[in-house]
Structure 1
Amino acid sequence: MNLLVQTSQHDLQDQIAITGSKSETNRLLLLQALFPNITLANTSNSDDSEVMQKALKGNDEIVDIHHAGTAMRFLTAYFAVNEGREVVLTGSQRMTERPIKVLVEALVQLGAKITYEKEEGYPPIRIIGQKITANKVSIPANVSSQYISALLLVAPKLENGIELTLVGEITSVPYIKMTLALLNDLNIETSFVGNVITVKPKKEVETKVMTVESDWSSASYFFSLAALAKTASVSLTSYKETSLQGDSALVEIYKQMGVSSKFEGDKITLTKQEGFEYKDITFDLNNTPDIAQTIVVTCLGLGIGCHLTGLHTLKIKETDRLEALRIELTKLGANISVTNDSLTLVATKDIKEEIRIDTYNDHRMAMAFAPLALKVPIVINNADVVSKSYPDFWDDLKKLGFLVVQKWSFT
């Protein structure tokens, strides 16, 4: 499905309800599978979370998680400790190109039985669930934090818990802390001192309802819309001022792009600041790489430059996000350069019109570029890819006055 997105509405006023965080939901779904007396509320309606839930509840020998990277990492650990269960864990063509070796090697260190069905280091993988008694393991710290979280989430069900040593500089610390905070909410004992994380074993947890906070990554597109509109007052629910999600850094980041944020109860209201003086920005996104696409597109729309670092994990996401950004922003007339872990955008006031944005099977490419419709009409190819994390995105844009129609060309 290709969508033409445009608007003559430059004053954005509305309230949008965003469903639960995909990151929190998928962690809690795994914990619920380990401790069935947990009840979940406000869970994500994303494809990734539905795939995760289906895999955990199903009994299939072949488990296909499609494009869901989080599910691939978390389920690798889950099935490895699910004694007596044998599965082949696989996914889309892109998923078979995304590395899993670091996590597999860590689990094998602990005593797991995992083999590769095709290419070493990549899915599909065959897992035969084992009783794990070893508890000391090390893992490179600069890999995807999902590898680390996968080990931590299953640790309470290991006979002796886990003592996990992170080797080198740690990436995406907020996501690791989110995992530990969710464990702590269940009174599971953890510690994170220096580069060593420990999780104590726990056979049972008390019956509890766990409510998922709405997704901050999904909120990022509304920060971008508020920044690019002439005037804006957009309210989002349900959000906490003290959040477990690293992407809540959006509040401080977008303050430097003319957007103020006000919390009232579980609502956050984004307002465009009048008379704001824009200037080029520099951010280290080592802890929040998922919002890089949104930020750089916002900068293009504002006519300012940016230098973003800490982006090395973007190369192994749904696509090579750095290369995809370089290609698509260049189409729009941007002067952008990328390295293995950074990107630099040179300020320009000119944005080319009648451009079709390719999304590379990446939900964030579709949603990050959509706010540019406030500047020029834009076609988003394969726009239904947003269902991976935010199925209601295009409907929510319509609520703000955008015209969103299925179209193959600008004529």
Structure 2
Amino acid sequence: MQVYLQQSSLQTELNSVPTVVISGSKSESNRLLLLQQLFPQLAVDNVSDSDDVVAMQEGLVVTKGRVNVHHAGTTMRFLTAYFALCQKESIQLEGSERMHNRPIGILVDALRELGAKITYLEKEGYPPLAIDGIQADGGSIRIPAAISSQYISALLLVGTALKKGIQLELIGAITSRPYIEMTLSLIEELGAETTFHGQQITVCPPKKLKKTQFTVEADWSSASYYYSIVALSAVGTSLRLGKFKPISLQGDAQLPTIYTQLGVATAFEADDFIRLTKVATPTAAFQGDFTATPDLAQTVVVTCFGLGIACDIKGLHTLKIKETDRLVALQQELKKLGGKLSITDHSLTLDATKEKREEDVVQIATYQDHRMAMAFAPLMLQMDLIIQEAEVVTKSYPSFWKDLQKLGFSVLETP
């Protein structure tokens, strides 16, 4: 499926602000679902309806045989740790072709140090995996911290169910630190004792559960596309999003700060809604370090392109091993629109764009990456676009296109 986005604007009614309620955080949902599997007393509300979370739910109920996580990277990492250390059955864990080219060797090596029995079925260091599960005791291991925080979170989560808990020594620079802190916060709410000092993290299993009822906050990553829409709209445009909290476990809750530089103000309202308002049109170049929030890079770069301003972002070394090489994908698709993007293995620089391509309807390739589809969608405020493989948004935000239609945008499905 592809969608044809006809140039249109955010529809507002007199004395009314358009409102969107966003599903629960994918990151929180997957962590809580794994904890719920380890501690069945837990109840979890407002779970994300994304494909990644559905894959997690389906995988957790399998007791033997094959589990296919499709494109769900977090699910692959979390289930690898769970099946390896927390149950005694034999599991074959596999995914899509792209998943089989996303590295997992660092996590497998760490799990093997704890006694895990894992075999690579195809290429060394990559899924699919054959796992002969054990009930491990836990212990101390060292793990590189610069590649993916999901490896670390996977170990911390299963550490809550290991007799000796888990002690990690992180080697090198720590990437996506807020996601590690999210994991530790949820574990602490559960009742486990944790420490995080410098490069050392410890988790001790809970002696008694302190909390058994959890409600997942709305997904800040999904909110980013609406920040982009407001940033590309006229000064004075407002939009409400729910439900979000001023103090959040999600790293992407940095959005209000980031988009202040792009002319969008955020106000937290009493009913857990936020109000976004376009207050200025920025002219200065955007600069940022996204080491802690790499999933926001595509949205911010496209926003800057739409605003016609330069953009310089570093801390993007993890984007090459996501659903696609996101740096190359951004470069290729922005070029179609008249943008000039320079990339390295860890950074990007967008030149200020004064003239955008307008003579043809440009088709944006998504590379099986949900964030490519949604990051480019706000450009419908300025031009007609076709988004290829538009169904890919179901990975994190299944109702995205319908929610845009509710806001008055022209979104037409085509074969």
1:251–1:114 CA distance, 2 compared to 1 (3 A): same
CA distance in structure 1 between the aligned counterparts of 2:196 and 2:8, rounded to whole angstroms: 50
Is residue 145 of structure 2 the alignment partner of residue 138 of structure 1?
no
Q: Does the 8 Å CA contact 1:97/1:122 hold for their aligned counterparts? A: yes
CA distance in structure 2 between the aligned counterparts of 1:76 and 1:204, rounded to whole angstroms: 26
Partner residue, 1:273:
279
Instruction: State the one-letter code of the partner of 1:363.
Output: H
Q: Which moved more, 1:124-133 or 1:191-200?
A: 124-133
SS across alignment from 1:66? coil
Q: Does the 8 Å CA contact 2:189/2:210 hold for their aligned counterparts? A: no
Instruction: State the one-letter code of the partner of 1:62.
Output: R
CA distance in structure 1 between the aligned counterparts of 2:182 and 2:86, rounded to whole angstroms: 24
* Deviation of the 1:156 alpha carbon: 1.1
**Gap regions ≥5 residues in structure 1:** none
Q: Does the 8 Å CA contact 2:176/2:292 hold for their aligned counterparts? A: yes
Q: Does the 8 Å CA contact 1:351/1:376 hold for their aligned counterparts? A: no
CA distance in structure 1 between the aligned counterparts of 2:29 and 2:69, rounded to whole angstroms: 16
Q: Does the 8 Å CA contact 1:11/1:229 hold for their aligned counterparts? A: no
Partner residue, 2:5:
5
Q: Does the 8 Å CA contact 1:65/1:91 hold for their aligned counterparts? A: yes
Alignment of structure 1 residues 332-371 onto 2, 5 Å: 332-353=337-358, 354-371=361-378
Instruction: State the one-letter code of the partner of 2:377.
Output: A
* Deviation of the 1:60 alpha carbon: 4.3
CA distance in structure 2 between the aligned counterparts of 1:375 and 1:174, rounded to whole angstroms: 34
Q: Which of 220, 244, 259 is 2:264 aligned to?
A: 259
Is residue 201 of structure 2 the alignment partner of residue 197 of structure 1?
yes
1:329–1:398 CA distance, 2 compared to 1 (3 A): same
In the superposition, the TM-score normalised over structure 2's length comes to: 0.96
SS across alignment from 1:165? strand
Q: Does the 8 Å CA contact 1:88/1:124 hold for their aligned counterparts? A: yes
Residues 204-247 of structure 1, C-alpha deviation per residue, up to 9 Å, x if partnerless? 52562100000000000000000001142110111011111010
Q: Which of 111, 124, 130 is 1:126 aligned to?
A: 130
Q: Which of 181, 186, 192 is 1:177 aligned to?
A: 181
Residues 287-312 of structure 1, C-alpha deviation per residue, up to 9 Å, x if partnerless? 00000000000000000010010000
Residues 98-124 of structure 1, C-alpha deviation per residue, up to 9 Å, x if partnerless? 000000000001111111111110000
* Deviation of the 1:159 alpha carbon: 1.4
Q: Does the 8 Å CA contact 2:141/2:169 hold for their aligned counterparts? A: yes
Instruction: State the one-letter code of the partner of 1:398.
Output: Q
CA distance in structure 1 between the aligned counterparts of 2:64 and 2:4, rounded to whole angstroms: 40
Residues 355-390 of structure 1, C-alpha deviation per residue, up to 9 Å, x if partnerless? 100000000000000000001111000001000000
Partner residue, 1:62:
66
Is residue 174 of structure 2 the alignment partner of residue 167 of structure 1?
no
Is residue 24 of structure 2 the alignment partner of residue 20 of structure 1?
yes
* Deviation of the 1:134 alpha carbon: 4.2
SS across alignment from 1:157? coil
**Gap regions ≥5 residues in structure 2:** none
CA distance in structure 2 between the aligned counterparts of 1:380 and 1:351, rounded to whole angstroms: 17
* Deviation of the 1:59 alpha carbon: 3.0
CA distance in structure 1 between the aligned counterparts of 2:159 and 2:87, rounded to whole angstroms: 14
Q: Does the 8 Å CA contact 2:337/2:357 hold for their aligned counterparts? A: yes
Partner residue, 2:414:
407
CA distance in structure 2 between the aligned counterparts of 1:269 and 1:319, rounded to whole angstroms: 32
Partner residue, 1:98:
102
* Deviation of the 1:141 alpha carbon: 1.1
Partner residue, 2:299:
294
Partner residue, 1:223:
227
SS across alignment from 1:347? coil
Alignment of structure 1 residues 21-36 onto 2, 5 Å: 21-36=25-40
Q: Which runs of 4+ in 1 moved over 3 A?
A: 10-13
Q: Which moved more, 1:374-383 or 1:9-18?
A: 9-18
Instruction: State the one-letter code of the partner of 1:292.
Output: A
1:10–1:48 CA distance, 2 compared to 1 (3 A): closer
Q: Does the 8 Å CA contact 1:88/1:126 hold for their aligned counterparts? A: yes
Q: Does the 8 Å CA contact 1:20/1:215 hold for their aligned counterparts? A: yes
Is residue 245 of structure 2 the alignment partner of residue 249 of structure 1?
no
Is residue 308 of structure 2 the alignment partner of residue 303 of structure 1?
yes
Q: Does the 8 Å CA contact 1:80/1:107 hold for their aligned counterparts? A: yes
CA distance in structure 2 between the aligned counterparts of 1:338 and 1:80, rounded to whole angstroms: 38
Instruction: State the one-letter code of the partner of 2:276.
Output: L
Residues 67-95 of structure 1, C-alpha deviation per residue, up to 9 Å, x if partnerless? 00000000000001123211000000000
Instruction: State the one-letter code of the partner of 2:385.
Output: I
SS across alignment from 1:373? helix
Q: Does the 8 Å CA contact 1:114/1:125 hold for their aligned counterparts? A: yes
Partner residue, 1:285:
290
Output the aligned Cα RMSD. Answer: 1.2
Is residue 329 of structure 2 the alignment partner of residue 324 of structure 1?
yes
* Deviation of the 1:10 alpha carbon: 4.8
* Deviation of the 1:7 alpha carbon: 3.5
* Deviation of the 1:28 alpha carbon: 0.3
Instruction: State the one-letter code of the partner of 2:54.
Output: E
Instruction: State the one-letter code of the partner of 1:8.
Output: S
Instruction: State the one-letter code of the partner of 1:273.
Output: V
Instruction: State the one-letter code of the partner of 2:9.
Output: Q
Q: Which moved more, 1:357-366 or 1:109-118?
A: 109-118
Instruction: State the one-letter code of the partner of 2:372.
Output: M
CA distance in structure 1 between the aligned counterparts of 2:324 and 2:9, rounded to whole angstroms: 32
Aligned residues: 407
Is residue 154 of structure 2 the alignment partner of residue 154 of structure 1?
no
